[in-house]
A and B are shown apart, each in its own frame.
Chain A
């Protein structure tokens, strides 16, 4: 017998839960403004989530999935990705989207049950949220294939949850990315739960990151509560994708400090105290401590930032509320490039229904 293959899965952390440095600080993180930018996205995401949850209680929003505890993942991704790259998100994402130019009011519109939330005033060719779990991984591989065919030095960044890694589409996407050497970065937002099913019941493998090994490229774990590590690792993975057509799988490890969505009640299945135990790791306090220790941040600055972000969130709610409602026939808009004759009668029926509803 001889061993024919070896592999290792690294784990990256730069700042630990006490705000202490555990490995080399990357260049970008020496710039206070850059850190404050990341911090601000996390605060904005957290305040927005709280507001959105409140809006579901009064029926102003439908179901909403909070990213509480996972803010570093989205803040880091949005910061690491270049404008020319393409982002393919799953539903639990505010932090990346707003850095891509999506408006908070559009995110509210989407969860409020209005298709215009996906129209993105900022334009561009990023994908809307993927709701059918795992399907988006293949879209990312396809986008990356387009870049290869056209010889463009661009990368694709795609996300899914830990549960999403059980889907066939997840493996299929990684498999083709390995074979075709596609410029795509797969990010798993491992928050330890897929609704009520714990990570341990999704897969028996020690890490999710090692799933890349079978596809022929490297996988790594990143401390998902350390926004500096997240930003750096995703940045480097995207660079490798762009410059060397090397795909990478990153498993970003954090914890879901919320119900799955506002339609869920985690007390039915989440062990008591687990959230409290995990809270010491949460990403916002960690960066706060780190920056405060370095003298670049203070309680006063923090308060001012929180107020500024709260005002932005409040403004987005007002903007959302003031968007005029649509008339029913929009159901047929964008169904095809040009609505076929066969459906015009149905569209006219809807116009009449809209008029009678208003009159």
Chain B
């Protein structure tokens, strides 16, 4: 079986679910004829036709509001926002309606939509194309925020998100779209939402991360292994709601915890994880929890973006610091 990239896995999941469920509708800017600016929806128009694969006018609030309306009538819209930096006009619809339709109508109406968008730096894009603002969505009650970090998880988590009856913000790390290839059987099997994935079992320290930073974290752990430091790597995958049990169980074993994310430091999801580990796992900890994150500044334009993104070296240095502490 051929190996596929993360973006191809997204495409495979969309095609599978559109075939399996006639209620699934895909919409967004440039997604039909053009197949999406990252090619995530390529071929869907030909397979499923213009009723179910819709190029929309250029308006993000419209895309979100339409999706909410469609979902209320039993369709399953999977809407693409071209870049995360352009999702903000839709925040009113997402925060004031999508997240709370079920709640305000006491279950009479619901909002089973998936809002997909590429995010993160590292692809030499112009300004506004590189931010990681997942924490905005993670802060909103009623939403799910899901971030895949491999082709297989992209496939399984997207299927799960489409089948999920509540709104999901599905964030695709654009830096990983074509990074690693993997065999992903097109078997329609979803992966669990609301669950972390332990990517590597280790004894000395727990590294908690998601999305594109899985790449640097795996590489750092590889190098640390040569120095005899055994890292346990947890891919959070669903950052809201948070599977804190898996993280706590790991920290109980290793006694050390570092959280790594690309987003700016202040009020990032790392702060929430650190708080929960501190609240419930302080007695396991042999060293202070640390964070390796992006800086509290605007993601720089392309020239400096590499320096903005936390590096393998920064992770290694922080691990060494934690290991030296105790």
B37 within 8 A of A: yes
Provide the A98-120 mask, 1 if CB < 8 A to any CB of B, else 0. Answer: 00000000000011111100000
* From B85, B86, B126, B295, contact of A111 by CB (8 A): B126
Decide: B59 and A201 in contact? CB cutoff 8 A: no
CB distance from B124 to the nearest CB of A (A): 5
B133 within 8 A of A: no
B304 within 8 A of A: yes
User: Which B58-72 residues have C-beta < 8 A from chain A?
Assistant: 58-59, 61-62
Nearest residue in B to A170 (C-beta to C-beta)? B59
B302 within 8 A of A: yes
Report the number of A-B residue pairs with Cβ-Cβ less than 8 Å: 108
CB distance from B69 to the nearest CB of A (A): 16
Distance between Cα atoms of A201 and B27 in the complex (Å) = 14
Distance between Cα atoms of A335 and B305 in the complex (Å) = 16
Decide: B85 and A113 in contact? CB cutoff 8 A: no
Taking CB atoms, residues of chain B closer than 8 Å to A326 are 303-304
Task: Tell me if B's interface is mostly helix, strand, loop or mixed.
Answer: loop
B29 within 8 A of A: yes
Decide: B308 and A112 in contact? CB cutoff 8 A: no
Decide: A168 and B37 in contact? CB cutoff 8 A: no
Decide: A113 and B302 in contact? CB cutoff 8 A: yes
Taking CB atoms, residues of chain B closer than 8 Å to A112 are 302-303
Task: Check A268/B33 contact, CB under 8 A, given A133-B58, A335-B298.
Answer: yes
Taking CB atoms, residues of chain B closer than 8 Å to A343 are 296-297
A55 within 8 A of B: no
Decide: B57 and A131 in contact? CB cutoff 8 A: no
Taking CB atoms, residues of chain A closer than 8 Å to B57 are 163, 166, 197, 201-203
Nearest residue in A to B305 (C-beta to C-beta)? A113
B189 within 8 A of A: no
* From B89, B296, B298, contact of A168 by CB (8 A): B89
* Interface size in chain B (residues, C-beta < 8 A): 35
Nearest residue in B to A203 (C-beta to C-beta)? B57
* From B35, B85, B297, B304, contact of A335 by CB (8 A): B297
CB distance from A136 to the nearest CB of B (A): 13
A332 within 8 A of B: yes
Decide: B127 and A131 in contact? CB cutoff 8 A: yes
Distance between Cα atoms of A195 and B303 in the complex (Å) = 25
A328 within 8 A of B: yes
Nearest residue in B to A265 (C-beta to C-beta)? B34
* From A110, A169, A197, A349, contact of B55 by CB (8 A): A197
Distance between Cα atoms of A18 and B55 in the complex (Å) = 37
Taking CB atoms, residues of chain A closer than 8 Å to B30 are 195-197
Taking CB atoms, residues of chain B closer than 8 Å to A168 are 59, 61-62, 89
Distance between Cα atoms of A19 and B85 in the complex (Å) = 44
B300 within 8 A of A: yes
Taking CB atoms, residues of chain B closer than 8 Å to A342 are 296
Taking CB atoms, residues of chain B closer than 8 Å to A134 are 58
Distance between Cα atoms of A91 and B125 in the complex (Å) = 14
Given contacts A197-B58, A202-B57, A346-B297, 4 further A-B contacts (CB under 8 A): A112-B302, A203-B57, A330-B304, A331-B297
Q: Jot down 5 A-B pairs with beta carbons below 8 A, ordered by A.
A: A114-B303, A115-B301, A166-B59, A328-B304, A357-B307
Binding site for B on A (CB under 8 A): 62-63, 91, 110-115, 131-134, 163-164, 166-169, 194-197, 201-203, 263-264, 268-269, 325-326, 328, 330-332, 335, 342-343, 346, 349-350, 353-354, 357
